Structure 1
Amino acid sequence: MDKLRGMFAFVIWDKVEKSFFGARDHFGIKPFYYAVEEQGLYVASEKKAILKMVQDRQLDQIALQNYLTFQYVPGSETMHQSIKELLPGHFMTKKLNETVKITRYWQADFSPINKSEDFFTKEIRTSLWDSVEKHMRSDVTVGSFLSGGIDSSIIVAMAREFNPKLKTLSVGFERDGYNEINLAEETAEELKVENFSHTITVEEFMAEFPRFVWHMDDPLADPAAMPQFFLSALARKHVKVALSGEGADELFGGYGIYNEPHALRMFNLTGKYTNQAIHQLAQLMPDGVKGKSFLIRGTVPLEHRYVGNAKIFDEREKKNLLAKYNANHSFQNVTESIYQQTIGYHPVDRMQLIDINTWLSGDLLLNADRTTMAHSLELRTPFLDKEVFNVAREIPAHLRLAHGMTKYILRKSVEGIVPENVIYRKKLGFPVPIRHWLKDEMYDWALTIIRESQTEHLLNKRYIEDLLINHRLGKVDYSRKIWTALTFMVWHRIYVEESQEFLTEPLRFSV
């Protein structure tokens, strides 16, 4: 396994030894599902294939409880008890009449070294050039996704050196403030590459949402996942392989939340009992009051507050929402082992390792694989190369976050390769206007989903409906919580209620 590099999920059957071997790549770029029943071992790249064969189709209540926190099902669990995911960096073996054995062959870790900025910029450039060159190898047309941000711009700037006729793809929304197409077009023009774009309407978004949920296999409530579904459809009209920038944020410190340990440093001086008092007072403040979240987060340890890039419902809210809340399980059960392994590490290192081990494979890469495969598009992610990671793991936190910016050393590394105005542009991501839509264009659509959903035995539907009503009144932004519940309800309708009539209908959008 040490010699393998890149993305893979494969199985080998040794007919002589009567033994089975299966493995998944280091970061979880490609999926690997399995189930063990009396009839035998089932494996597949899509959960829905196994679901057709297993006898046990019971929902996993703990998986649902975790989903409501993370907006995806973390770890090796899936929403069905009998079906599991092989974790990234693991392989599995099985011989006839023996049980399945799962072994970790690789683990992400940080081990910073004391070297200069110049040393790291050279190392980063060398590893990225090598990775992009290898990811460009193909006997079919290769393109690249392009947003208005730094990560995709780095990939495009390097990829065009191997193919000056590189095609780039971008999407945005009609609403002001949620459209990166102009920025992407400006970047494409500066890099002298062709750009194709599509503006997504709210009508398209609602119409295609059930199909998106079907492709995901398990509910994924990241609003940014849907734009990639449309982006992949656009890309497939022009190329068969696309490059993308997934992994840069997790490896090089690209999320604003990574600045939190520095912002909360004052609470390290106030003492345990003072912090407890502040925390109790903050809990009494109404939702939406400015400063409440800051006080709460500042007065609890990192391992109790940070579970990755998304924390949707807290334990108190889940007690009100879930019909069968398990008080013996909390979100910390998912992240506890990672925090235990990183005691003594810099807080930013610990946060990044949480994201690499949970958010990256459970959300970003699940989305990346499913949305592209839904349109028969092969996606390649040059940042998620173990040789690139071997450089990133040695970079000290003070060079990842410096001078008020994220990914500082990565940005410095590509000076002269990427236009300077792009290098130091504020992070944008895939902004989706659902908080606006749920107050207006999506309100009736969302209300219908809630009321028609047959999930009363699992969720307090009245609680979700009240969130939607209060969100519309503008009291508090509940859009992420509402979207998480809606996604599960649509998933339940497809995979539990088995309503799949939409799959016989043609795609409703043209790109």
Structure 2
Amino acid sequence: MCGLLGILSADSNAGDLVSAVGSAMHCQRHRGPDETGTWHDDDVAFGFNRLSIIDIGHSHQPLRWGPASNPQRYALTFNGEIYNYLELREELAREHGAVFQTEGDSEAIVAAFHYWGPEAVRRLRGMFAFAIWDTESQELFLARDPFGIKPLFLATGRAGTAFASEKKSLLELGELLGLDTDLDARAIEHYTVLQYVPEPETLHADIRRLESGTYAWVRPGKEPEATRYFSPAFPVRPFAAGDEQSRYREIAAALEDSVAKHMRADVTVGSFLSGGIDSTAIAALAMRHNPNLITFTSCFEREGYSEADVAAETAAAIGAKHVVKVVSPEEFAASIPEIIWYLDDPVADPALVPLYFVAKEARKHVKVVLSGEGADELFGGYTIYREPLSLKPFGYLPRGLRRAAGRLSDRIPDGTRGKSLLHRGSLTLEERYYGNARSFNDAQLRSVLRDFRPEWTQQDVTAPIYAESAGWDPVARMQHLDLFTWLRGDILVKADKMTMANSLELRVPFLDTEVFKVAAQVPLEQKITKTTTKYALRQALEGIVPPHVLHRAKLGFPVPLRHWLRGAELQDWARQTIVESGADHIFDKAAVTRMLDEHRDGASDHSRRLWTVLCFMIWHGIFVEHRIVPQIAEPTYPVSL
């Protein structure tokens, strides 16, 4: 896992750009503190920061490879890991006579591209964002993994097209590229509603992201031409009578194979552990390959029940050594500017703060960790996925009666039992479900956002995705939507950014294409029941996950934000952030202050809405006003890990 940066010159003067690339790489040094390098020819300038995980003494990047007729034909810069690289190397050598000079996964990518063309990306099991420059065809090939685990930002300006693992590097090159640094008003509105910036947008209008599951060709002087190669579908295969156990074994086998391949590394691999079923399954399977596995969790200073207690109990049950990081309110507040700098664009999910601290703690012990992200989206783990069951009776009503129920709900006082059920039952799935987060409704948004445009809605994001799933069962449609929104916009962004901030590689075995194949076939009744979620996965993990975890409800990663914003922990900090912010032209600071007052007095719970605005204000102070300058330490870590 590393950081890459490059420019395809518009006029064959890459030699004049390489020094700027080298300088701009420094702001993503945390992604690869082990070594750094640049390479250029007349057309491209590549830069790379390496976190050495596989074939540590070799596989240096930017990497050159080619067939016997032209052994220097290609140049590669690659962020991520290819977990089936050994199998690919063997096949390429056997079938095509490919010759390799290293023992790593990077050469497997280039050789696969040479012999299989763009279709090679479908053969890669792993997380990746990479660039391949073909010196013969004079074409740049960019690709990103199916689920969007690894990021890739793009910008095209007068000097050419640039790409990077982190947006801040492109901002460093902004003047050279001739980029417009204006903010994207539509992206700001999307962020405020969803608490993240949805792909392919960023908050800067001239910088975009190559979407998950997409590759792109770039030719000198032209805009990138993108093609989607992975379109997740849910081809449900009903369970035949008496076939249940074989299907559960199929799920368990796919996950076990994925974990085994995700354990491939020449450094120590640990695992995050919350005590929930997903992370416990990954850790328990990892123990089969490393009986000395270390697990990590974080929690907050609070009285009574602690999620850390559950994680410690689980670690003891599977026999893992366990490390806990306790985060204080003071640490929480002090870390926010640094964390938002690492994020590039704000993600208003408070769970990323404890993730940042547990990653920092884990990096003292290991260089790679496994985690359970993706299980909920693949196997139906969110409680909201049970909503179609509760709203099913509304589906039998004529459309007019459903709309009447909605109008009736508008007249019922807030807080009255049944109001929300009537309202949501009156809506179609497309109207009511936008993913796992919605911070502001339209009325609230109008009150705080100065440039509110009612024609810009979250349906800008969701409508094209829903169009692809017409005719599927409602839970599959929700899962599909979350793969393109919540998972890649929030979950995977915070996972990548918070671990790489600490030069720690995070691997997510659930988000493997082979695991997805079996998960996508699970029928509705094997995902959601009246009493549980992820039913088939829970059955598949019998004998792998300890019984006390197997049927426990989803824990989440609760942050005492509501309490802290109401009390001494964060109340003054929040008020000062609002007062000092220079984002007056974007957010009505008086309206935001009223929200804070109402929250303090207990009149309403505005914690998530406040957090969304506060994160933006700090981001604006860093990247627009340049008033806030986070203290970013040069990464230094033990080489023995």
SS in 1 for 2:133: strand
Give a deviation string over 1:40-91, Cα, whole Å, max 9, x none.
Answer: 1010000000011123110000000100111000120000000000100000
Please give the per-residue CA displacement for 1:155-211, whole angstroms capped at 9, x wherever unaligned: 011000100000000111112367311111100111111000011111110010111
Query: Is the partner of 1:2 in helix, strand or coil?
Result: helix
1:461-507 deviation line (CA, Å, top 9, x unaligned): 11111111111111221111111111111111111111243325799
Aligned residue number for residue 475 of structure 1: 603
Q: 2:170 aligns with which of 50, 74, 77?
A: 50
- The DSSP-based 3-state class of the residue aligned with 1:27 is coil
Preserved contact between residue 160 and residue 220 of structure 2 (Cα < 8 Å): no
- Counterpart residue number, 1:95: 219
2:209 is the alignment partner of 1:85: yes
Task: Out of 364-373 and 315-324, give the one that drifted further.
Answer: 315-324
Unpaired segments ≥5 residues, structure 1: none
Q: CA deviation at 1:92?
A: 0.8
Q: In 2, Cα distance between the equivalents of 1:153 and 1:38? A: 50
The letter of the residue matching 1:316 is A
Aligned runs of 1:481-496 on 2, under 5 Å? 481-496=609-624
Contact 1:170 1:196 in 2 (8 A): yes
Residue matched to 1:73: 197
Q: Which residue of 412, 417, 422 maps to 2:544?
A: 417
1:340 equivalent in alignment to 2:460? no
In the alignment, the residues of structure 2 paired with residue 366 and residue 313 of structure 1 have an alpha-carbon distance, to the nearest angstrom, of 21
Give the structure 1 partner of residue 629 of structure 2.
501
CA distance in 2, matches of 1:221, 1:292: 28
Distance in 2, Cα, partners of 1:294 & 1:233: 43
Deviation (angstroms), 1:97: 3.4
Pair 504,336 (structure 1): closer, same or farther in 2 beyond 3 Å: closer
Q: Which residue of 1 aligns with 2:407?
A: 280
Distance 1:289 1:317 in 2: 20
Task: Tell me what 2:268 maps to.
Answer: 141
Partner of 1:59 in structure 2?
183
Between stretches 456-465 and 176-185, larger displacement belongs to 176-185
Partner of 1:364: 491
1:200–1:290 Cα change, 3 Å = farther
Cα distance, 1:342 vs. partner?
Answer: 1.0
Q: Deviations over 1:344-401 (max 9, x none)?
A: 1100000000101111111000000000000000000000000000000111011011
Which runs of no fewer than 5 residues in structure 2 stay unpaired?
A: 1-120, 636-641
| Structure with more contact order per residue of length (Cα contacts < 8 Å, sep ≥ 6) | 1
Extract structure 1 runs of 4+ deviating beyond 3 A.
284-292, 504-507
Q: Distance in 2 between matches of 1:414 and 1:504?
A: 42
Count of residue correspondences: 507
State which drifts further: 258-267 or 157-166: 258-267
1:117–1:399: 8 Å Cα contact kept in structure 2?
Answer: no
**2:359 pairs with one of 226, 229, 232:** 232
Instruction: Tell me, in whole angstroms, the C-alpha distance in 1 between the residues paired with 2:630 and 2:223.
Output: 40
For 1:49 and 1:284, the matched residues in 2 are separated by 52
Counterpart check, 1:165 vs 2:292:
yes
Work out the CA distance in 2 between the residues paired with 1:176 and 1:407: 31
Q: Deviations over 1:108-167 (max 9, x none)?
A: 110101223223211111101100000011111100000021100000110001000000
1:259-304, CA deviations, whole angstroms, 9 ceiling, x for partnerless residues? 0011112222343223223322323445555443332212111101
- Residue in structure 2 matched with residue 454 of structure 1 by the alignment: 582
Instruction: Give, in angstroms, the shift of residue 321 of structure 1.
Output: 1.7
Seen in structure 2, the aligned counterparts of structure 1 residues 21 and 38 have a Cα distance that, compared at 3 Å, is same
Q: After superposition, what is the alpha-carbon deviation per residue over 1:215-252, rounded to whole angstroms, capped at 9, x for unaligned?
A: 00001001111111111001101100000000000000
Question: Could you say what secondary structure the match of 1:438 adopts?
Answer: helix
Contact 2:275–2:310 (8 Å) recurs in 1: yes
- Asked whether the 8 Å contact 1:287–1:476 carries over to 2, the reply is no
Identity, % of aligned pairs?
47
| Contact 1:178 1:433 (8 Å CA) reproduced | no
AA aligned opposite 1:435: R
CA contact (8 A) 1:178 1:431 kept: no
Q: 2:312 & 2:235 partners in 1: Cα distance?
A: 39
Aligned to 1:12: 132
Equivalent residue for 1:32, pick from 127, 143, 152 = 152
Once the two structures are overlaid, the 10-residue window that deviates more, 253-262 or 270-279, is: 270-279
Match of 1:165, SS? Answer: coil
Aligned CA-pair RMSD: 1.5
Decide whether the 8 Å contact of 1:172 with 1:178 is kept in 2: no
* 1:405 correspondence with 2:525: no
Provide TM-score, normalisation by structure 2. Answer: 0.77
Bigger CA drift: 39-48 or 399-408?
Answer: 399-408
Contact 1:288 1:476 in 2 (8 A): no
From the superposition, tell whether residues 348 and 146 of structure 1 become closer, same or farther in structure 2 (CA, over 3 Å): same
Cα distance change on mapping 1:382 and 1:504 into 2, 3 Å? closer
Q: Report the residue type matching 2:200 in the other structure.
A: S
Give the match for residue 261 of structure 1.
388
Q: 1:224 to 1:504 in 2, by over 3 A?
A: closer
Alpha-carbon distance between aligned partners in 1 of 2:133 and 2:463, rounded to the nearest angstrom: 35
The 8 Å contact of residues 132 and 142 in structure 2, kept in 1 or not, is answered as yes
Q: Which amino acid aligns with 2:332?
A: F
The AA in structure 2 aligned to 1:466 is: R
Q: Which has the larger radius of gyration?
A: 2
TM-score, length of structure 1 as denominator length: 0.97
Matching residue of 2:28: none
Residue in structure 2 matched with residue 210 of structure 1 by the alignment: 337
Counterpart CA distance in 2 for 1:422 and 1:504 is 38
* Matched letter for residue 480 of structure 1: R
**SS of aligned partner of 1:92:** strand
Confirm or deny: 8 A CA contact 1:178 1:432 kept in the other structure: no
The CA deviation at 1:23 is 0.3
My pick for the range that moved more, 390-399 or 108-117, is: 108-117
